[in-house]
Amino acid sequence: MLNRFAQDYLHTLETTAFRPRPRVSGRLASYDGLLMEAVGLTLPVGTVCSVGDQVEAEVIGFRNGRTLMMNLGGPAALLPHAPVRPLGEPGEAEVGAAMLGRVVDGAGAPIDGLGPIRGAGRWPLAGRMQSPLDRGRVLAPLDVGVRAINGLLTVGQGQRVGIMAGSGVGKSVLLGMMVKAAAADVIVIGLIGERSREVADFLETKVAGEARARSVVVAVPANHSPVLRIRGALRATAIAEAFRDEGRKVLLIIDSLTRVAHAGREIGLALGEPASARGYPPSAIAMLPNLIERAGTDVHSGGSITAIYTVLADGDDGNDPVVDSARSILDGHIVLSRALAEQAVYPAIDVSKSVSRVMNDIVPVEHQRAARALRRHLATYEENRDLVLMGAYRSGSDARIDDAIAYHPAIIEYVRQDTHQSVALDEAAAELIGVFGD
């Protein structure tokens, strides 16, 4: 009897899929407060490791036979030769309907006090490589509820747009207006590198009510590790990709792209990469196209990711490396003017410096003509503004200048919009054509 039991038990062990695996472990060899070096283990880039008992770090590279890691948390009381163990394979994000209405951090952990996220799917943080032919054209407009954008800078489903401005000009307020009114199935918001107070304010005032139920927020404030800030942007994009794969219309907002570049700069400089353009190493700027190009329309699922990235122009410099690089990759840019903000014109959109590269493909001809007429009057007024203000111009000398002066108050009123007001796309187009049409 006993022999028969032993034979059956041993046969059961032989047929199981269990294979013993050695536990991989290394030792901490160096730590300067940001960058860690470990010896005794070989892991792929992106792997999250446990250092000591409580500290987590991510593998970011290799040097001279050592594994380089960056701390994912704050200051760590680590000792030399602390054990380093991998926690899991690199790079997957929780995605799907279970994420709707939730707020997570850069590591994917919920921070909204609503308990764990159950039933979520998985998607690679770095996305899934697509052929350029898998991307569809932008052929349908997206209503964002802002009159000046709907009428003069019409956004299309699957377009990538940048909101470019210096600090304190109203980027976040404009984003809030668009979140409330956007005609999208899902809204994914990445608050990357912003102030913690601003994160709480954005959630309570701009992603409230009905918008909260169809939104996913990834919040990584400025005091978090640069690795977590980059992971936050990748995680928000991965969540949006998964919804697009389901055929949904997704609005992806990253605030801000510049903070992502700053995080890349910190990592690049810590690795010893030489600084090139105003302190940015090449890898920090090269990272931006990899992130932006993941948005767009999928011809197979029919879903789309309309992406809006805020870009902070340091010192109001329109030629900042991040601003210049983003402008060359995006399908359009909205420039906010500090001069207009000082005149209490909100949103402070500088129409003459802003452009939507897909507008002519998605709006009727009469809408295009009216938008061009407004731009023409605005350009004429700006060219002759000094003459008019000095009194050097006499009315009747030039019909174009007379028209520009007459239309200028209407242009300012068209751009100006109350924060709590929403203007539909059809309404914005009808108003534009009624005033500036043929």
Q: State how far the Cα of 296 lies from the Cα of 138, in Å rounded to an integer.
A: 8
**pLDDT at position 9:** 58
Which is more confident, 27 or 397? 27
Listed in sequence order, the residues at least 6 apart from 165 whose beta carbon sits closer than 8 Å to its beta carbon are 171, 310, 311, 312, 313, 316, 335, 336, 337, 338, 348
Q: At what angle do helices 321-329 and 282-292 cross, to 10 degrees?
A: 30
Pairing mode of beta strands 103-104, 215-220: parallel
CA 429 from centroid of its chain's CA atoms: 28
Write the pLDDT tens digit of every residue in 305-333: 999 999 988 777 777 889 989 998 999 99
* Mean pLDDT of the residues in the chain: 88
Tell me the HSE value of 37 on the side-chain side, using a 13 A CA sphere: 11
pLDDT greater than 70 at residue 294: yes
Write the pLDDT tens digit of every residue in 98-112: 999 999 998 889 998
**pLDDT at position 45:** 86
**pLDDT at position 23:** 67
**pLDDT confidence of 14, banded at 50, 70, 90?**
low
Q: Contact 402/395 with Cβ under 8 angstroms? A: yes
**pLDDT at position 8:** 62
Write the pLDDT tens digit of every residue in 107-137: 889 998 899 999 899 999 888 888 888 888 9
Q: State how far the Cα of 255 lies from the Cα of 188, in Å rounded to an integer.
A: 11
**pLDDT at position 372:** 95
Write the pLDDT tens digit of every residue in 25-60: 899 999 887 789 999 988 888 888 889 877 888 898
